[in-house]
């Protein structure tokens, strides 16, 4: 990725964060996916007995994992698996479409691992899934099909295999 493109993307993210009305204008002409068919799915049992996983769209990954592809203007529909036992200091973010300084300083803002661990210790949540998942939240065009028909289904199958009852999604 060129230095100029990265600078441009990061600058736009900062401008949109400071002037939300500009983001609204962008969203009006963006090709957004609206899902009106998702059914309500109540928890199968009390939260204190449920296994919970985290999923984020912050482009978060382990420092040794391959970063998300920021060269494709339509985004990167892949995902990264993150062990739930990980220390937050082992995480980083590859995502140029939001101002990420705060999230890099405290990864719990976009992947609330430590708060979830605290809820388990307090007995509010039953247990934590052995792994979490991270996507990049800027997916457009044909990559939406890859996301909805392939990678999201792979993650859903993995969550089901892990016995997850509830997922906490942190969209970015």
Percentage of residues of the chain with pLDDT beyond 90: 62
Crossing angle of the two packed helices 20-29 and 3-18, in degrees rounded to 10: 110
pLDDT range class, residue 33, cuts 50, 70, 90:
low
Residue 74 is part of which domain span? 31-170
Highest mean pLDDT among 14-18, 30-34, 50-54, 142-146: 50-54
pLDDT value, residue 32: 66
Residue 39 placed within a domain: yes
- Per the DSSP assignment, residues forming a β-bridge with 51 are 127
Encoding tokens for residue 107?
């990864």
Residue 24 placed within a domain: no
Say how many domains are in the chain: 1
pLDDT tens readout for residues 105-117 = 999 999 999 999 9
Residue 7 placed within a domain: no
Instruction: With a cut of 80, say whether residue 21 has pLDDT above it.
Output: no
pLDDT tens readout for residues 45-85 = 999 999 999 999 999 999 999 999 989 988 999 999 999 99
Residue 2 placed within a domain: no
Residue 19 placed within a domain: no
Residue 54 placed within a domain: yes
Instruction: With a cut of 70, say whether residue 44 has pLDDT above it.
Output: yes
Residue 8 placed within a domain: no
Residue 12 placed within a domain: no
Q: What is the mean pLDDT of residues 143-163?
A: 96
The contacts found for 140-143 with CB under 8 angstroms, 24 or more apart, are 140/30, 140/31, 140/73, 140/74, 140/75, 141/31, 141/74, 142/74, 143/72, 143/74, 143/75, 143/76, 143/77
Encoding tokens for residue 4?
């100029």
Summarize the chain as % helix, strand, coil (round to 5): 40, 20, 40
């Amino acid at each position: 990725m060129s230095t100029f493109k990265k600078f441009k993307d990061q600058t736009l993210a900062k401008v949109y964060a400071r002037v939300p009305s500009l983001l609204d204008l962008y969203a009006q002409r963006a090709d957004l996916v609206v899902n009106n068919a998702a059914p309500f799915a109540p928890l199968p049992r009390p939260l204190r007995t449920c296994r919970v996983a985290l999923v984020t769209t912050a482009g978060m990954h382990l420092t040794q994992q391959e970063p998300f592809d920021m060269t494709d203007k339509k985004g990167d529909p892949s995902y990264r698996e993150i062990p739930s036992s990980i220390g937050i200091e082992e995480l980083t973010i590859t995502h140029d479409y939001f101002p990420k300084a705060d999230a890099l300083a405290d990864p719990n803002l976009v992947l609330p691992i430590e708060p979830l661990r605290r809820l388990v210790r307090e007995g509010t949540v039953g247990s934590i899934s052995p792994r979490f998942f991270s996507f990049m939240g800027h997916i457009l065009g044909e990559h939406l099909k890859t996301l909805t028909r392939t990678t999201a289904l792979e993650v859903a199958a993995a969550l089901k295999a892990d016995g997850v009852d509830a997922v906490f999604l942190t969209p970015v």
